[in-house]
Structure 1
Amino acid sequence: MELLNAIVITVNGVVWGWPMIILLLGTHIYMTAKKGFIQRFTITKGIRLSVEKDTKKYIHNLDAKDDTLVPVVK
């Protein structure tokens, strides 16, 4: 059991150290380039949507099982 504990601690130190940081950063750079730098185009829309007041009224969708909201159409 002590050997297993030592192995887990060693692997944990390696995986959650610099290799994980490099893997996450590399994945971020790769996906940003592959998707055409989409963050540049959507960041302003995301900020605007998160700070503006929502004026639409919604009702519960009684047909859906996941309790989603549906905009009211007049």
Structure 2
Amino acid sequence: MKRPEKEAVVAQLTEEFRNADAVYLTEYRGLTVPQISDLREKLGRDTSYTVAKNTLARIAAKEAGIEG
């Protein structure tokens, strides 16, 4: 992924973090595609599940004012 793409991902994640009532980070490795699809269904319509590179998520969280 080139730098402009990374910047776009960070901007999108930052906006999502700022608008979210809550943010949960999960480990998805080991889950099958059907399991991830099932999880997304169970989360509900007003919830999103996004897979992002840890480094980009950390930068976006910091920009959104999320610490910890």
Q: Bigger relative contact order, structure 1 or 2, given CA contacts below 8 A and separation 6+?
A: 2
* Structure with higher strand content: 1
* Structure with higher helix content: 1
